[in-house]
């Protein structure tokens, strides 16, 4: 009798949840269409192998890769701004014009007014922030569609750029402190020692976040997934250091870009502001009812986007040692494409600033590789357009297959 009772009770007791193995977890994600960054990584690998073969081994040469990283610094800075705007389901078409305008302000104040390098640089950033606040007020307070506001901004800021540079169309930058931003490198041993605390901080934050979720009874990803992610970060940092060290060191502009990525990753991942950004992008009305200041969030996001565009313009002026009245028509498209290709949703509420790294590398690799093959701008634009439409299509199909991703 006792045996039967014990058997019945044992059968009635719920089984403890088991953590799926690596193969099972991957199989489940594939069935859901939740591929993460895998398609983007594979695309980058294919592009690198193709250009390495067709260029006769030049593409993966340390000097070419170092130059590639320098070239994408401007795109990546603008792309971080595009990520923030896309996260709240808006668009900013004025980023490229703002970048050129802020670069021109810095160069003009340095060359014609004799301002110190730090003040001229700060003035460029302040102009970017003010422009963003103006855009944000029109969008968030006056409720004008962001497409119209920033399209008007693209036109108006391009005109203001011409006015700032009058009577010239190009001004050469001569301050060595400003030209050093893109021209100088951090050399051994500082280029090796500097990443150590940042990598340690990243690993510590990931582990602390995991422990905090466990204490609150929230679900955590499998241990193997956390270890794999942190291991990939460590490997990438080591490979990047080996690459830079084999040429001239780590470019200052790359350090600035990595610093921006870390800063805004921390903001989005670990602060209330970051959670509010995702909430506003997911459902503005629900966020408003939850007490989130949706208007304020939108203004701040547009201000951040234009400030990051100013950073991109400063890096570009430093790299080209000049300010030009000609706004690159592909810069804006490349920045938005980098964000979308990296996995940021056009529908808001989903994405990460780390998407900028993969997206910018793909855009920059296509441009760099096609230059090595002596292809013209026509081929570049067609190839980049094809890659962008492919990325958006994959995003749309994944959202249909996995409804949870749409939230």
Task: Flag residues of the chain having pLDDT under 50.
Answer: 1, 5-19, 405-407
- Asked, for residue 194, whether it belongs to a domain, the answer is no
How confident is the model at residue 398, as a pLDDT?
Answer: 64
Say what the pLDDT of residue 196 is: 82
Q: How many CA atoms lie within 13 A of 150 on its CB side?
A: 24
Per-residue confidence (pLDDT) for residue 330, from 0 to 100: 85
Question: What is the pLDDT, as a whole number, of residue 14?
Answer: 47
In a domain, 347, yes or no: yes
Contact 85/353 with Cβ under 8 angstroms?
A: no
Other C-beta atoms lying within 10 Å of the C-beta of residue 314:
29
Residue numbers of the domain that contains 110: 38-187+248-406
* Residue 192 covered by a domain: no
Residue 356 belongs to domain with CATH number: 1.10.3470
On whether residue 279 sits in a domain, the answer given is: yes
pTM: 0.85
203 within a domain of the structure (yes/no):
no
Identify the pLDDT of residue 126. Answer: 97
Tens digits of per-residue pLDDT, 208-255? 888 888 888 888 878 777 788 788 888 888 888 888 888 888 888 888
Q: What is the pLDDT of residue 278?
A: 93
253 lies in some domain: yes
Please check whether residue 367 lies inside any domain of the structure.
yes
The total number of structural domains in the chain stands at 1
Q: β-pairing, 185-186 with 170-172? A: unpaired
- Indicate whether 216 belongs to any domain: no
């Amino acid at each position: 009798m006792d045996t039967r009772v014990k058997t019945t009770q044992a059968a009635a007791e719920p089984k403890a949840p088991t953590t799926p193995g690596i193969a099972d977890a991957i199989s489940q994600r594939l069935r859901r269409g939740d591929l993460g960054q895998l398609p983007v990584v594979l695309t980058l690998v294919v592009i690198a192998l193709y250009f390495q073969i067709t260029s006769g081994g030049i593409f993966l040469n340390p000097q070419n890769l170092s130059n590639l990283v320098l070239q994408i610094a401007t795109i990546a800075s603008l792309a971080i701004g595009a990520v923030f705007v896309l996260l709240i389901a808006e668009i900013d078409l004025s980023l490229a014009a703002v970048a050129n305008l802020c670069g021109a302000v810095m160069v003009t104040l340095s060359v014609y007014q004799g301002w110190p390098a730090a003040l001229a640089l700060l003035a460029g950033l302040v102009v970017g922030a003010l422009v963003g606040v103006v855009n944000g007020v029109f969008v968030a307070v006056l409720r004008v569609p962001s497409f119209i506001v920033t399209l008007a901004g693209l036109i108006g800021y391009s005109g203001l750029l011409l006015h700032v540079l009058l009577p010239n169309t190009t001004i050469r930058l001569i301050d060595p402190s400003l030209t050093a931003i893109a021209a100088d490198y951090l050399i051994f041993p500082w280029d090796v020692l500097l990443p150590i605390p940042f990598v340690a901080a990243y690993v510590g934050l990931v582990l602390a976040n995991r422990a905090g979720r466990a204490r609150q009874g929230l679900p955590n990803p499998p241990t193997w997934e956390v270890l794999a992610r942190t291991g990939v970060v460590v490997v990438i940092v080591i490979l990047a250091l080996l690459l830079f060290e084999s040429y001239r060191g780590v470019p200052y502009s790359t350090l600035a870009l990595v610093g921006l990525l870390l800063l805004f990753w921390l903001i989005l991942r670990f602060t209330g502001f970051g959670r509010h950004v995702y909430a506003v992008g997911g459902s503005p009305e629900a966020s408003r009812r939850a007490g989130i200041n949706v208007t304020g969030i939108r203004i701040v996001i547009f201000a951040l986007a234009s400030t990051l565009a100013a950073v991109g313009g400063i890096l570009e002026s430093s790299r080209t040692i000049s300010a030009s009245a000609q706004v690159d028509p592909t810069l804006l498209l490349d920045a938005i494409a980098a964000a979308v290709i990296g996995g940021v949703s056009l529908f808001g509420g989903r994405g990460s600033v780390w998407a900028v790294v993969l997206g910018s590398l793909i855009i920059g690799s296509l441009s760099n590789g096609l230059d090595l093959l002596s292809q013209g701008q026509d081929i570049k634009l067609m190839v980049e357009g094809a890659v962008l439409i492919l990325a958006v299509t994959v995003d749309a199909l994944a959202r249909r297959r996995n409804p949870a991703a749409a939230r």
